């Protein structure tokens, strides 16, 4: 059986993202979303999630390009004096790996984001990360201790077939190759621990190599590559104008991604290919 999880990242980042997520859930193929605890529109997102209990919500762990939710004093710290993480993912990754003094702060921040999610009363369906920071070796080692503690049983194991992606879209071939190589190695490191802990994951995740460009044209072709088992595809939908997403992701095609999630051609294609929509909890979505 071919099963597909369709997720929207950055829920809570801004009102434009929140509106798009709910529209994609009500009118489209979206089966889940991932919540940014430190997002400016976090409270609105929580209320919308409560109004739509069928929409599964996971934690979008944020340790770069966002705001910390715990207090971090001293020097060095994982955020600046205003509580903001660096916007540079390479810099963040290097600091988290080489500065061992930051690891206690990272654990405090990660655990606080989990606790604040739990405080909403919304069931936590899975964990993933902003810019896939949850796969970072230091971050993952913290998560493999915290996930069993808080009953988190599903995880986005990010990796994507480079050749299959490039056959559809030849944009940024070198960059895609680097991303595919890095996340393949990270996935190989994470997978044995997830199996040992009994934490579930999709057999492949699409969205890494075309992040911000998950258009209807691309999606119609990518669906042909969905094989047996569970596949996840993630998106970054948004409704413009929205100053926050335009500032943070000026090159992303947010409205085109929303159109892909709600378009009739995609729904017809899913039916023709016999692909079943589901969420991380295994519940089937039938109203797309």
125-138 pLDDT, tens digit each: 999 999 999 999 99
Q: DSSP characters for 9-65?
A: EEETS-HHHHHHHHHHHHHSS--EEEE-TT-TTHHHHHHHHHH-TTSEEEEEE-SSS
Q: Which CATH superfamily is domain 2-278 in?
A: Glycoside hydrolase/deacetylase (3.20.20.370)
Summarize the confidence of residues 140-153 as an average pLDDT.
97
Structural tokens at position 63: 């340790």
Enclosing H/E stretch for 97: helix 89-98
Summarize the confidence of residues 160-186 as an average pLDDT.
95
Question: Around Cβ 131, how many Cβ atoms within 10 Å?
Answer: 17
Four-residue CA torsion sign, 271, 252, 42, 190:
positive
Structural tokens at position 239: 């409704």
64-103 pLDDT, tens digit each: 999 999 999 888 999 999 999 999 999 999 999 999 999 9
- Please state, for a pLDDT cut of 90, what percent of the chain lies above it: 97
pLDDT of residue 224: 93
Q: How far apart are CA 249 and CA 252, in angstroms?
A: 5
228-276 pLDDT, tens digit each: 999 999 999 999 999 999 999 999 999 999 999 999 999 999 999 999 9
Strand partners, 202: none
Summarize the confidence of residues 45-52 as an average pLDDT.
98
Residue 27: pLDDT band (50, 70, 90) is very high
282 Cβ contact partners less than 8 Å away, ≥ 6 residues apart: none
Q: How far apart are CA 54 and CA 168, in angstroms?
A: 33
Q: What is the pTM of this model?
A: 0.95
Q: How far apart are CA 93 and CA 105, in angstroms?
A: 14
Question: Around Cβ 221, how many Cβ atoms within 10 Å?
Answer: 15
Q: Are 66 and 85 in contact (CB under 8 A)?
A: yes
Q: How far apart are CA 171 and CA 165, in angstroms?
A: 10
Helix, strand, or coil (residue 164) = helix
Summarize the confidence of residues 140-165 as an average pLDDT.
97
∠ CA 138-104-249, rounded to 5°: 60
Helix, strand, or coil (residue 6) = strand
């Amino acid at each position: 059986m071919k099963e597909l999880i369709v997720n929207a990242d950055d829920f809570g980042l801004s009102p434009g993202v929140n509106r798009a997520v709910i529209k994609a859930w009500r009118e489209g193929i979206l089966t889940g979303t991932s919540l940014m605890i430190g997002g400016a529109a976090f409270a609105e997102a929580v209320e919308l999630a409560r109004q739509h209990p069928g929409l599964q919500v996971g934690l979008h762990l944020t340790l770069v390009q966002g705001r910390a939710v715990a207090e971090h004093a001293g020097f060095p710290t994982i955020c600046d004096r205003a509580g903001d993480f660096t916007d540079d993912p390479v810099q963040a990754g290097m600091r988290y790996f080489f500065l061992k003094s930051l690891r206690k702060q990272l654990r405090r921040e990660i655990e606080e984001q989990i606790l604040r999610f739990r405080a909403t009363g919304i069931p936590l369906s899975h964990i993933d990360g902003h810019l896939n920071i949850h796969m970072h070796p230091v971050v993952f080692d913290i998560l493999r201790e915290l996930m069993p503690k808080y009953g988190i049983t599903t995880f986005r194991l990010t990796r994507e077939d480079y050749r299959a992606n490039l056959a559809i879209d030849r944009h940024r071939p070198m960059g895609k190759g680097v991303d595919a190589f890095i996340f393949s190695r990270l996935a190989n490191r994470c997978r044995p621990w997830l199996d040992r802990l009994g934490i579930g994951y999709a057999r492949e995740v699409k969205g890494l190599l075309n992040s911000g460009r998950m258009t209807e044209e691309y999606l119609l072709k990518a669906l042909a590559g969905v094989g047996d088992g569970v596949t996840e595809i993630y998106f970054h939908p948004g409704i413009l104008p929205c100053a926050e997403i335009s500032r943070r992701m000026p090159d992303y095609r947010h409205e085109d991604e929303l159109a892909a999630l709600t378009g009739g051609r995609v729904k017809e294609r899913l039916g023709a290919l016999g692909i079943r929509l589901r969420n991380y909890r295994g519940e089937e979505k039938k109203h797309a």
